[in-house]
Amino acid sequence: MSRATASRVNPTEFAILGLLAEQPRSGYDIKKEVEERLGHFWSESYGHIYPMLKRLRSRRLITAKPSERRAGRPARQVYAVTAAGRRALTAWFERPPMAPRPRNELLLRLLLGRFAPAGVLRRDVAAYRARAHEGLVRLRAVQLELDAAASDDLDYERVVLAFGIALYTTLGRWCADAEAMLAERG
Amino acid sequence: MSRATASRVNPTEFAILGLLAEQPRSGYDIKKEVEERLGHFWSESYGHIYPMLKRLRSRRLITAKPSERRAGRPARQVYAVTAAGRRALTAWFERPPMAPRPRNELLLRLLLGRFAPAGVLRRDVAAYRARAHEGLVRLRAVQLELDAAASDDLDYERVVLAFGIALYTTLGRWCADAEAMLAERG
DNA sequence: CGCCGCATGTAAGAGGTTACATGATTCG
DNA sequence: CGAATCATGTAACCTCTTACATGCGGCG
């Protein structure tokens, strides 16, 4: 009755749950995995991961157990999803993704460009282009690896990769055009 | 001394400051302007705008005065930037934009695709494509308007518009490919 | 009369980052 | 020995959204 709560879902929670569904990991591993595999379109900080692990555990969506001692490495907790955790993961997929809150500071700056001191926008666009280029280089390297291994399991990785490559390529081209416009002006 | 504070800047603050630099506006106007002109790449809520206006005012970066009565409209506060406000705006341009925290839930879902119930990802990608298409249609309409008015002042608007069009076009294409892959699989 | 658009604001709380605290082990 | 990597966590704080509260005036 009364208020239909339902909706509230925290995507970070499900990023963690999903990574743990792939295989058991520690908080540290999760952070690494996010950086290496999802870095181009996702991010998490320790200060968010650890409290979230605690919370997921208190809801019995994951379990923790200390890993067996590995030669000269500090102790670590390894987390794994429970059956309830997998159900929660499925339920998350069921509801559509939240519309992202758009927030592109570079475009905000450009739109307010008449108030910008000379040169700063060119600098910013150039930096943006450098990032896009760097991203593209890295993703192409990943692409080589993926092309080598022909497995259907990797179709999802491939489609995500294709997104990144298409995006960085487009951004790079746009930056070049934008820089040309800015150069003409100033 | 001790800690070098310096860096902390809130982009919302400067979005507001920038819009007020263009012309004096009320909180309501700011919200409208953000939605209409920046909606594709920026967003703000009343719950953030009003407290921020208060804060900017307490720092003397903006001033407030009640608007003259307009036929049958409620009273409103109109805010305008001070000289100090313009300096703060310039200082903001001086420092490079913050790197955005990447957070694309659709890609997260795709990467965890093996855990998704059948069909949901196709649904999500289709919705994404629909949004891209809708965005593209709207921006093309804006483009027609902009092309009509040939003014250098609008170069910034044009370059931002070009960004949106390039992005939505790329996203639409990628979605089509992604849907093809998903259809093949399931 | 009730709803819609205009208009301003607050309170609670979610979500997330940064900085800090701690400590083991490996490598140069 | 010092630096780097591995590893876990907490506390303070910022940012921002949602839901709520309030009220005017016009229109059907």
| Cα separation, B79 vs A48, whole angstroms | 37
Strands B62-66 and A62-66: unpaired
Query: Which residues of chain A are within 8 Å of residue B120 when distances are taken between CB atoms?
Result: 93-94
Single out the residue of B74, B97, B68, B85 nearest to residue B16, CA to CA: B85
| Cα separation, B96 vs B102, whole angstroms | 17
Q: What is the dihedral of CA B85, B89, B91, B92, to 10 degrees?
A: 140
Question: CB distance B107–A41 less than 8 Å?
Answer: yes
Distance of CA B39 to the CA centre of its chain: 5
B59 and B17 Cβ atoms separated by less than 8 Å: no
Tokens representing residue A166 in the block:
């298409």
| Cα separation, A71 vs A66, whole angstroms | 15
Nearest-Cα distance to chain B for A74, in Å, is 29
Is residue A109 within 8 angstroms of chain B, CB to CB?
Answer: yes
A116 and B112 Cβ atoms separated by less than 8 Å: no
E-strand ranges in chain B read 62-66, 77-81
pLDDT digits (tens, 9 = 90+) for B144-173: 999 988 787 799 999 999 999 999 999 999
| Cα separation, A183 vs A122, whole angstroms | 8
Using CA coordinates, name the residue in chain A closest to B86. Answer: A115
pLDDT at B185 exceeding the cut of 90:
no
B154 and B86 Cβ atoms separated by less than 8 Å: no
Is residue A14 within 8 angstroms of chain B, CB to CB?
Answer: yes
B110 and A97 Cβ atoms separated by less than 8 Å: no
Residue A68 is predicted with a pLDDT of 74
Single out the residue of B18, B96, B185 nearest to residue A106, CA to CA: B96
B60 and B81 Cβ atoms separated by less than 8 Å: no
Query: Which residues of chain B are within 8 Å of residue A19 when distances are taken between CB atoms?
Result: 112
Is residue B91 within 8 angstroms of chain A, CB to CB?
Answer: no
| Cα separation, A103 vs B43, whole angstroms | 7
pLDDT at B132 exceeding the cut of 70:
yes
Nearest-Cα distance to chain B for A72, in Å, is 33
Tokens 């809130």 belong to: B10
Q: What percent of chain B has pLDDT over 90?
A: 83
Q: What percent of chain B has pLDDT over 70?
A: 93
Mean pLDDT of chain A: 92
Nucleotides in chain D near protein beta carbons (<7 Å)? 6-12, 14-20, 23-26
B45 and A101 Cβ atoms separated by less than 8 Å: no
Q: How confident is the model at residue A7 (pLDDT cuts 50, 70, 90)?
A: low
pLDDT digits (tens, 9 = 90+) for A119-134: 999 999 999 999 999 9
Residues 6+ apart with CB under 8 A from A173: B166
pLDDT at A1 exceeding the cut of 50:
no
